């Protein structure tokens, strides 16, 4: 282990969770900021933002409302910066899904003002983390940015989360499951105590999701729903905070990043694409490492994802008609030099990944490789 001291942002300064989390959290906000920018995007959550705006007025705050037009992209981030500066805002309250929360955190980071996150779904752990993903205006992943700190305050109000469609919780389950499948592959042999503990937390989270997810999606009033929603929105973030970057992402997220380069993939939610990416990662482990445990895990996970109506092949991601050239470009992006896919304990290149995507596509495809492509045993079709 390196003796180099690295800063580590583990959690928000304060976390409030429960049925009435907002009622308690709103009393804290004036001590953090008095003129916040209230950021959102989705039409489906506008009623929540209108409620928050009115409540902030009642508290004596002077909020400025703003909405993203796209995902967390530089165009919207520039507009947020202008609004904050022109209106002399002293904080950002991001109320929405993962991309809204990412935009709020990144804007606060760049402007050196506090951020408050209020998730309106349990589709990601973005309300917790010191990390933001930047996308293009078309929804294609560009890069992630490590932030100086986690949010100042996270308000995880069950009432807000319950208003989200069940699909968002299923997506959050797919994203949270990746914590185990990615960290166990990249960090299982780590000698770092915190990393070891984060990996074990990821295993426990996986087991809990396997046990509770079905009931959680059927009954929002159940204890199972609370455990699953908090597992996706809170525990998954804590795992990344304790374990650091090596416990956040590997092949599943890299595959997500590659597939977002295809126009059709923007119709799928983040966790839906990640869930499919886990299956592809397990296929890589099975074929390249001859790992029989990976084969068993893939079959088990595939049935679980089907039960939750999560994608198990490219057809499910509305990529049935994608051509090989487009898939190859997605694979090249997923295998960029800086990609987290290279955290795997074996080498993966675009050709290897392309074959894995095809093998999990859901229909038979014949691929003719160009003569100048380096041959690899994994690509042989004897």
The CATH number of residue 367's host domain is 1.20.1090.10
Considering the domain architecture, whether residues 147 and 216 belong to the same structural domain is answered as no
The answer to whether residues 131 and 67 belong to one domain is: yes
The two structure tokens encoding residue 52: 């928050």
Structure tokens, 42: 């989705």
Tell me the two tokens of residue 13: 């300064």
Same domain assignment for residues 139 and 195: no
Same domain? 238 vs 259 = no
Q: Tell me the CATH number at 49.
A: 3.40.50.1970
What is the predicted pLDDT for the residue at 264?
61
Residue 3 located in a structural domain: no
Residue at 2 is within a domain: no
Quote the distance between the C-alpha of residue 339 and its chain's center: 16
Q: Which of 83, 31, 94 is nearest to 59 (CA)?
A: 31
- Among residues 191, 188, 374, 372, which one has the least CA distance to residue 294? 188
Q: Are residues 323 and 215 part of one domain?
A: no
Q: How many domains does the chain have?
A: 3
Q: What pLDDT score does 122 carry? A: 98
Together in a domain, 292 and 366: yes
Contact criterion met (CB below 8 Å) for 357 and 349: no
| 230 and 348 housed in the same domain | no
* pLDDT at site 267: 79
Examine the fold and report which residue of 140, 162, 184 is the final residue of a domain before the chain moves on. 162
Q: 380 in a domain, yes or no? A: yes
Tell the burial category of 371 from Cβ atoms under 10 Å away from its Cβ (0-12, 13-18, 19+). exposed
Following CA atoms 256, 267, 81, 132 in sequence, which dihedral angle do they give, to the nearest 10 degrees? -20
Q: Is the pTM of this model over 0.75?
A: yes
pLDDT of residue 3: 57
Whole-number Cα distances in Å, 106 to 102, 126, 129, 306: 6, 11, 11, 35
Overall residue count recorded for the chain in this entry: 382
The answer to whether residue 8 sits within a structural domain is no
The pLDDT assigned to 358 comes to 84
Same domain, 257 and 363: yes
Residue ranges making up the domain that contains 193: 165-248
Half-sphere exposure of 35 (CA within 13 A, CB side): 8
Question: For residue 315, what is the DSSP state?
Answer: G
CB burial class (10 A; 0-12, 13-18, 19+) of residue 256? Answer: buried
- Whether 135 and 64 share a structural domain: yes
Specify burial of residue 199 (Cβ count, 10 A radius: 0-12, 13-18, 19+). buried
Q: Do 147 and 176 share a structural domain?
A: no
Q: Are residues 62 and 152 in the same domain?
A: yes
Mean pLDDT by 10 residues, the chain (382 residues): 69 96 96 97 94 96 94 95 97 97 98 98 97 94 95 98 97 97 89 92 97 98 98 97 82 96 80 97 93 92 96 89 90 96 94 88 41 36 28
60 and 133 co-located in one domain: yes
Burial class (CB in 10 A: 0-12, 13-18, 19+), 326: middle
- Domain end position, chosen among 162, 197, 231: 162
- Burial track 83-111 (b if 16+ CB lie within 10 A, e otherwise): bbeeeebbbbbbbbbbbbbbbbbbbbbeb
């Amino acid at each position: 282990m390196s003796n180099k001291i690295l800063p580590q942002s583990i959690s928000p300064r304060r976390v409030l969770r429960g049925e009435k989390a907002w009622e308690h959290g709103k009393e804290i906000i004036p001590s953090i900021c008095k003129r916040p920018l209230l950021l959102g995007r989705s039409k489906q959550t506008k009623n929540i933002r209108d409620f928050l705006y009115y409540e902030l007025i009642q508290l004596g705050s002077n909020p400025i409302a703003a909405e993203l037009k796209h995902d967390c992209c530089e165009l919207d981030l520039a507009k947020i910066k202008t609004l904050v500066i022109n209106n002399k805002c002293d904080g950002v309250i991001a109320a929405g899904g993962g991309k809204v929360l990412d935009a709020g955190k990144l804007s606060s980071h760049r402007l050196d003002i506090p951020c408050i996150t209020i998730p309106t779904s349990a589709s990601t752990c973005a309300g917790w983390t010191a990390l933001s993903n930047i996308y293009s205006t078309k929804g294609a992943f560009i890069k992630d940015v490590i932030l100086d700190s986690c949010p100042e305050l996270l308000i995880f109000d069950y009432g807000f989360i319950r208003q989200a469609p069940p699909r968002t919780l299923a997506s959050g389950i797919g994203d949270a499951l990746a914590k185990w499948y990615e960290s166990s592959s990249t960090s299982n042999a780590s000698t770092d105590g915190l990393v070891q503990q984060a990996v074990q937390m990821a295993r426990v989270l996986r087991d809990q999701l396997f046990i509770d997810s079905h009931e959680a999606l059927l009954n929002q009033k159940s204890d199972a729903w609370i455990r699953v929603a908090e597992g996706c929105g809170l525990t998954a973030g804590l795992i990344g905070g304790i374990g650091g970057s090596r416990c956040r992402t590997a092949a599943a997220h890299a595959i997500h990043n590659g597939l977002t380069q295809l126009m059709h993939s923007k119709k799928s939610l983040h966790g839906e694409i990640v869930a499919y990416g886990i299956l592809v990662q397990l296929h890589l482990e099975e074929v390249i490492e001859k790992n029989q445990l990976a084969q068993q895990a893939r079959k088990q996970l595939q049935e679980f994802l089907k039960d939750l109506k999560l994608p198990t092949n490219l057809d499910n991601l509305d990529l049935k008609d994608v051509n090989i050239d487009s898939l190859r470009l997605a694979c090249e992006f997923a295998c960029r030099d800086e990609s987290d896919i290279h955290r795997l304990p074996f080498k993966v290149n675009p050709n290897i990944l392309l074959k894995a995507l095809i093998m999990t596509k859901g229909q038979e495809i014949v691929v003719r490789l160009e003569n100048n492509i380096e041959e690899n045993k994994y690509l042989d079709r004897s």
